[in-house]
Amino acid sequence: MRWECNGMVKIHSPQFRTEDSLHAHVARLLTVAIAPPGTLSASGAFWCSIEHRNARNRLEGALRKSRGVVAGIPDIQIGYQGRTYWIELKRHDGSRSKAQKALHPVLEACGQPVGLCRSPEEVFGFLKKHGVPVRAEVMA
């Protein structure tokens, strides 16, 4: 559900049964709030999702490693004003993997904030905290 109030799009946020459903919902919201994935918004923001599910077999894992694929990369990358922001999505009962626990502090150490978000509201809070302009609000 969505509606407009004072020029701001308001979007209702449901409960999520899977991390994939949360991720798909957040992707739809970011498309409205920023721009379609892979495109530059009017305010100069960009976002995309990163897909690094577990390799299906050893060969695929070895090929990924040879190309520099790193385990633990957060789910969503956002670029704005020369900075990179990352969002790791987890259900309310999910926890970060060992690789994520190791990599996220590395990203933060080089000036790339990582937000662990369990709801669309937390995603929007993270973006607002870092000054990334959004054209929508999530209503509980």
pTM of the model: 0.83
User: Mapped to the 3 state alphabet, what secondary structure does 111-124 carry?
Assistant: CCCEEEECCHHHHH
pLDDT reported for residue 17 = 75
Q: Specify if 125 maps to a domain.
A: yes
- Domain holding 65: CATH number? 3.40.1350.10
For residue 15, name the pLDDT band (cuts at 50, 70, 90). Answer: low
Domain that holds residue 124: 2-51+61-139
Residue 56: inside a domain: no
Say what the alpha-carbon torsion angle 136, 115, 107, 71 is, to the nearest 10 degrees: -100
Which pLDDT value is given to residue 16?
72
Strands (E), the chain: 2-5, 8-12, 45-49, 76-80, 83-89, 114-117, 136-139
**Using one digit for the tens of pLDDT, what is the confidence trace for 80-111?**
999 999 999 999 889 999 999 999 999 999 99
Cβ contacts of 41 within 8 Å, gap of 6 or more: 34, 35, 133
Cα separation, 85 vs 88, in Å, equals: 10
Q: Quick check: is 93 in a domain?
A: yes
Per-residue pLDDT tens over the stretch 30-81: 999 999 999 999 999 999 999 877 778 889 888 888 999 888 999 999 999 9
- How many independent structural domains does the chain possess? 1
In a domain, 66, yes or no: yes
